[in-house]
Each structure stands twice: as C-alpha cells, then as structure tokens.
C-alpha cells in the first residue's frame, strides 16, 4: 500500500513539475486574491484587526478548490483514474496518493502566501512559526481530505466544476472557522496559546474524522 | 503481486442498468483459459459496460460474474490478474512511454519494473521512443504503449476495448499475433471490436450484442460479417 501511495504521489509531482499547470494557476490566483484584499482593506498602513487570518484562509481555500479541480480533470482526460482503480493496491491507497499530492501542492503555495499576507497586512503571523505551521498544516489537510474525496466522486459528473465548491465549502466550514480563529490568535501581540491549542485540536479532530470517513467510503463510491 | 488465479470466467444472467436504461440485460457466457472471446455489436450495444463489469469497475445490477472460484469481492488480488485496455488509453500524456509503463509495472507489483518496461517497449517496437512523452507519439504508437500497459503484469484475463483502433496494417498483424500468443499462454482474452475483418479467424467464441442483449453466440465463428448483418438485421 505504501509503495502504491508513493508511486501515485511521485507520478503527480512529476506531471506537475513538467506542466507547472496547477502550481502556476494556484499561486497566481492566491497572490492576486491577497493583493486585491490588501489594496481594498489596508488604509495608511493600517490593516483591519484579524483581517490577515481571514484573507489567508480565503486564499488557501479558493486556491485549494482550483487545485483539486485541475488535479482530477487531468485524471479524467485520459481516464487514468480508471486505470488507477484497476491496480491491485487497496483503493484507499489511490486516495492517499492523490491527497498527499494535493497537500504538497497547497503547502508549496502557502510557503509563498503566508509571508506575503504577513507583509501586506503587517500581521505577526511568523512570531510563532511552529504553531503557525501546525495550524496551517492541519487546516490544509482537513480541507484537502474532504476535497479529494469529493473531487474524485465528481470526476464523471457533467457539472463537476460547479458541484465541487457547492459540496466542499459547507462541509469545510469548521476548517475555515478553526483556521481563522487559530491564525488570528497567533497574530496577536500577546498570544494566548490556550486559544490556539483549542482551535488546533478542533482541526486535528476534523482531520481524523474525515480522513477515516474518506478511507471508508472511497472504495464503494469509486466502484460505481 | 501474483494474485488469485482462475481457469475460466463465467457470466450468469448479468444485467446492468443506469436508471431506467438497460445497458446490459441477462448476458451469460463462459470462457475457459486459452480462449479469445469477441463481443461484437453496434455502438451502445453494451460491450464496454460488460467489459467494465468484468474488470470489476462496475457492479452488475443482477446476475453473477465468477472468476474460477472467485468473484469481484476478491478485490486487489483479483485485479492483479486482470489487464484492461480501455477505449481511452489510460496513459499520462506528460510522462514518457517508459515512465508510464514503469509506473503501472510498479503499481502491479511487477519485479524489476524498469527492465520489464524496457522489454515491453521492445515488444511494441517503440524502444527508440521510450523517453518521448506520450503526448508526442502518434495515435497508433500510443495504442501500442497502452496495450503494453494493459499486459505488463501478464494478466490471466485481458479485456480489450477496440484494441485495433489507430493501428496500421503491420501493427494490426503484430497485435493479432500477440493475442494468439496470449491464447497459447493460457490467457483469457475478451475483446470488443467493430473490426470484423480482423476478428475473422481470430476468435474462438463470438457473442453478438444488440441493445444490451445477446442475440447470437457462436463457437469457432466463421463468416463474421455475414452473420453480423444477419443477426443485427433481425
């Protein structure tokens, strides 16, 4: 199973390295989104309180939706998802391989996005880097866990581009709330780590619950 | 991964419907080792749906498919013994021909996947194009790579959907010879095709499908074109 996950992940990264299609569109979209909010909200060097946290997570989620759609569109074009369903690895391995690829792609975008948001909104996001990495990683994994399952389910649906955000955003509302609140707490001059821990625990719980559900449902969902 | 093994496949009253549309209705047949079975019929006859059911990609709405002692619930170990060439090629266009074959050899647990991929490209006559992206190959070349991908793990059951599409005469002859060697090797080959001229003399069994139903089944069929015209015109 681990070998299949690794092979699928490596394949996704190789394809992306050659085409740079998803990384380019995701990064451009996320940066444009942050720049638009910065020009709209930052007045005379003053950003609205907690604005940075909200805008960071909006950019991550919109960029994530874009990446999810394109990743599975690629698998649909030559029906390669079917080929992956046919290999003798447990089908959840296919899910985990795709999930790992999406998480890595989003992580690469976030490496650029977080300092940009911190700079433009003059937010102290980087004061507690390890906590921030934990919050962003847990939130990204939660979002991608649900998104990968939905994107795979919708790969044959005619209106998949519309249905993916319609299904994904309501289910991932807890990720948005917890991610924004934890990030906002980290951006305060006097960080209350108790608040950060609470929201981080919620994110981890979300990840565990939805990863378990996704692994459980992926095979029956994809067999039809 | 070697997987389970089986000596025959059998379909008993297999049906599949999508909503109110019946794609396959009560199809039954057996195919032992060393057999090439052809599914013949016009577009929409249910050939691809039947192949998807045999490949375990779709569940039958009714009836049963058995792979020797096993059924589709055998899961990964059964899939290790099935090779599928789809109507689409199941290849990543950004990867090279070699990378595609090595990827699937790895996913099927073939030992020495790099060497196996090189050997497969040799067999397809594409050794000199091994490191070219699949997107740069002609349709016929891609079809040959796709066939090697389907057979890279030496499956017991090979399911081929329109395998002659895009092939020139020489490649078609090579594929016919390859299918013959699969038969000699004890594989069960199920192929859906419109190319009756090529199928003539190749098939051990022919099943004629129309609107999801078997309208004729012949052993050692001859005169496929006239039979086809006759049964489809009924």
- The ipTM of this complex is 0.83
CB contact under 8 A, A11 and B91: no
Q: B5-56 pLDDT, tens per residue?
A: 888 999 988 899 988 888 888 989 899 999 999 998 888 888 999 999 999 8
| Residues of chain B contacting residue A82, judged by C-beta atoms under 8 Å apart | 57, 84, 86, 88, 90
8 A C-beta contact, residue B94 and residue B142 = no
* Low-confidence winner among A140-149, B79-88, B219-228 (lowest mean pLDDT): B219-228
* Coil, helix or strand at residue A168: helix
Strands B8-18 and B62-67 come out as antiparallel
User: What does pLDDT average to over chain A?
Assistant: 89
- Where along chain B do its domains lie? 1-81+155-234, 92-154
- Name the residue of chain A whose CA is nearest to B159's CA: A86
pLDDT tens readout for residues B191-203? 998 888 888 878 8
| Contact assignment for B89 to A88 by CB distance below 8 Å | no
- State the pLDDT at residue B1: 53
Q: What would the pLDDT profile of A4-23 be if each residue is shown by its tens digit? A: 999 999 999 999 898 888 88
Using alpha carbons, list the distances in angstroms from residue B40 to B66, B85, B154. 21, 16, 25
**Distance set, CA A97 to CA A11, A62, A161, A215 (Å):** 9, 22, 22, 12
Chain B hits for A223, Cβ within 8 Å: 56-59
- The topology (CATH level 3) of B1-81+155-234 is Rossmann fold (3.40.50)
pLDDT (0 to 100) of residue B2: 57
- Helices of type H across chain A: 2-19, 21-41, 51-77, 80-86, 91-120, 129-153, 160-171, 173-187, 193-223
Q: Measured between alpha carbons, how far is B32 from B35 in angstroms, rounded to an integer?
A: 6
Angstrom distance (rounded) from CA B24 to CA B46: 5
Which strands sit side by side in the sheet containing B157-161, from one edge to the other? B82-85, B157-161, B188-193, B35-40, B205-210, B213-219
Q: What is the pTM of this model?
A: 0.84
Does pLDDT of A99 surpass 70? yes
List the alpha helices (DSSP H) in B129-210.
Answer: 139-151, 169-184, 196-199
Question: In chain A, pLDDT over 90 holds for what percent of residues?
Answer: 43
pLDDT at B234: 66
Average pLDDT over residues A61-68: 90
CB contacts < 8 Å between A and B, how many? 76
**Nearest CA among A98, A19, A103, A21 for reference residue A60:** A103
Q: Classify residue B5 as left (phi > 0), alpha (psi -120 to 50) or beta.
A: beta
Query: Average pLDDT, whole number, for chain B?
Result: 87
Chain A interface mutation, best of B90, B107, B143, B157, highest count of A Cβ atoms under 10 Å: B107
At A175-219, the pLDDT tens digits run 999 999 999 998 888 878 899 999 999 999 999 999 999 999 888
Report the pLDDT value the prediction gives residue B145, as an integer from 0 to 100: 92
A164, A65 Cβ separation under 8 angstroms? yes
Chain B positions contacting chain A at CB under 8 Å are 1, 3, 55-59, 75-77, 79-80, 82, 84, 86-95, 99, 103-104, 106-109, 133, 149
Nearest CA-CA partner of B1 in A143, A93, A158: A93
């Amino acid at each position: 199973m681990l070998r299949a996950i690794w092979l699928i992940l490596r394949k996704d990264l190789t394809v992306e390295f050659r085409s740079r299609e998803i990384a380019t569109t995701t990064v451009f979209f996320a940066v444009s989104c942050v720049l638009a909010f910065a020009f709209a909200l930052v007045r005379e060097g003053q950003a609205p309180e907690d604005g940075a946290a909200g805008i960071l997570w909006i950019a991550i989620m919109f960029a994530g939706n874009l990446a999810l759609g394109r990743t599975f569109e690629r698998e649909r074009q030559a029906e390669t998802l079917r080929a992956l369903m046919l290999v003798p690895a447990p089908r959840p391995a296919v899910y985990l391989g795709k999930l790992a690829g999406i998480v890595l792609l989003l992580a690469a975008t976030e490496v650029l996005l977080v300092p940009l948001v911190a700079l433009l909104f003059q937010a102290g996001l980087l004061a507690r880097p390890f906590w921030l990495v934990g919050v962003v990683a847990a939130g990204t994994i939660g979002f991608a866990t649900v998104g990968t399952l939905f994107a795979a389910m919708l790969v044959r649906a005619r209106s998949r581009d519309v249905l993916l955000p319609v299904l994904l955003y309501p289910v991932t509302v807890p990720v948005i709330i917890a991610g924004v609140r934890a990030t906002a707490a980290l951006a305060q001059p006097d960080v209350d780590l108790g608040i950060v821990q609470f929201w981080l625990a919620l994110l981890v719980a979300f990840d565990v619950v939805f990863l378990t559900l996704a692994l459980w449902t992926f095979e029956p969902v994809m067999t039809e | 991964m070697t997987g389970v093994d089986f000596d025959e496949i059998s379909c008993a009253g297999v049906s599949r419907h999508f909503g109110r549309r019946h794609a396959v209705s009560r199809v039954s047949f057996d195919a032992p080792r060393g057999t090439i079975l052809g599914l013949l019929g016009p577009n929409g006859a249910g050939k691809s749906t039947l192949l998807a059911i045999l490949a375990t990609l779709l569940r039958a709405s009714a009836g049963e498919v058995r792979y020797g002692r096993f059924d589709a619930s055998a899961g990964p170990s059964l899939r290790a013994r099935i090779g599928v060439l789809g109507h689409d090629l199941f290849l990543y266009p950004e990867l090279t021909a070699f990378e595609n074959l090595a990827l699937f050899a790895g996913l099927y647990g073939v030992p020495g996947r790099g060497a196996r991929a090189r050997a497969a490209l040799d067999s397809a006559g594409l050794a000199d194009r091994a490191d070219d992206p699949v997107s740069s190959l002609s349709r016929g070349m891609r079809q040959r790579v796709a066939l090697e991908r389907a057979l890279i793990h030496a499956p017991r059951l090979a399911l081929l959907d329109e395998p002659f599409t895009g092939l020139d005469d020489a490649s078609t002859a090579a594929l016919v010879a390859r299918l013959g060697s699969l038969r000699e090797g004890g594989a069960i080959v199920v192929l859906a095709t419109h190319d009756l001229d090529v199928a003539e003399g190749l098939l051990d069994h022919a099943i004629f499908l129309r609107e999801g139903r078997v309208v004729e089944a012949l052993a050692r069929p001859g005169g496929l074109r006239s039979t086809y015209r006759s049964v489809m015109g009924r």
